Amino acid sequence: GAVVSQHPSRVICKSGTSVKIECRSLDFQATTMFWYRQFPKKSLMLMATSNEGSKATYEQGVEKDKFLINHASLTLSTLTVTSAHPEDSSFYICSVLRTSGRISYEQYFGPGTRLTVT
* Residues of this chain that bind other proteins (CB under 8 A): 1, 4, 6, 32, 34, 42-46, 48-49, 57-59, 91, 93, 95, 97, 103-112, 114
* Least distance between other proteins and beta carbon 113 (Å): 9
* Least distance between other proteins and beta carbon 43 (Å): 4
Encoded amino acid at 33, one letter? M
Neighbours of 8 (CB within 10 A): 13
Question: Is 10 within 8 Å of 90 (Cβ atoms)?
Answer: no
* Least distance between other proteins and beta carbon 7 (Å): 13
* Least distance between other proteins and beta carbon 13 (Å): 19
CA–CA separation, 18 vs 106, rounded Å?
A: 31
Q: Which is nearer to other proteins, 34 or 67 (CB)?
A: 34
CA–CA separation, 49 vs 40, rounded Å?
A: 22
* Cβ-Cβ contacts under 8 Å for 14 (sequence gap 6 or more): 117, 118
Q: Which is nearer to other proteins, 49 or 82 (CB)?
A: 49
